[in-house]
Structures are given as structure tokens and as C-alpha cells.
Amino acid sequence: QSALTQPPSASGSPGQSVTISCTGTSSDVGGYNYVSWYQQHPDKAPKLMIYEVSKRPSGVPDRFSGSKSGNTASLTVSGLQAEDEADYYCSSYGGSNNFVFGTGTKVTVL
């Protein structure tokens, strides 16, 4: 199964919003509402930020939101803060007990 496609980088100034796209196919992103997003700071383990397209785990700020349209999912970070600078990965269930991650996006806070 091929990795989901994300832009390599995205950026915004503090207080602004940034949106990251995650494009798959009808066999993964488009076929299931099982898209999740992970934040990874340098030399740290990934952290769950969004699951089942738009649900936020306890403790994740409501500045983080997720959505999906067709084969593309999106993560929006509103009110950017310095600590949001990190790599972000999407993921999706791909059917038949398969799972796939996105290529990753480096978010820079200018």
C-alpha cells in the first residue's frame, strides 16, 4: 500500500492558521472515517492529535481540528504557537487489516 501524500512543508506566523492536506485513495482515506494525525517533535515519539477524522483526545488543544472530503483529509492548526513547530503525519486504515501513514509535513512557525 502506498504512503498517503502530504506536502513536505507548511508554515505560518504565530497566531495564524496552517492547514495540512493528506491525500489517499478510495481504498484508504476515502473509504473509511479512520484518519488520524500525529505530531512528532525532534527526537521524540509521535503523539496522537486527531483520530477518526475529527476527534481530539483529551488534552489536545482545540486549536487542532481535522476534516475530510473525498480522498483528502486535512489538519488545521489555528492560533499557531511556537510549540506547534513539529513534523505531522496523517494515517488511515486501508482495509483488510492494513494501515498506512502519510509522507509527513514539517510545520515551521515563522
Partner 1 sequence: QVQLVQSGSELKKPGASVKVSCKASGYTFTTYAMSWVRQAPGQGLEWMGWINTDTGNPTYAQGFAGRFVFSLDTSVSTAFLHISSQEAEDTAMYYCARYRDGYYFDYWGQGTLVTVSS
**Rule CB under 8 A: which residues touch partner 1?**
1, 3, 32, 34, 36, 38, 40, 45-48, 51-52, 57, 89, 91-93, 97-104
Other beta carbons less than 10 A from residue 37's beta carbon:
29
Q: Which is nearer to partner 1, 16 or 33 (CB)?
A: 33
Instruction: Choose between 10 and 48: whose C-beta lies nearer to partner 1.
Output: 48
Query: Which whole-number Å values give the CA distances from 48 to 1, 56, 77, 88, in the listed order?
Result: 22, 9, 14, 10
Q: How many other C-beta atoms are found inside a 10 Å radius of the C-beta of residue 39?
A: 22
CB of 4 to partner 1, least distance (A): 10
Least gap, CB of 107 to partner 1 (angstroms):
14
CA distances from 102 to 15, 52, 78, 89 (A): 26, 15, 21, 6
Q: How far is the CB of 78 from partner 1 (least distance, A)?
A: 22
Least separation in angstroms between residue 41's CB and partner 1 is 12
Looking at beta carbons only, is 11 or 99 nearer to partner 1? 99
Distance of CA 39 to the CA centre of its chain: 8
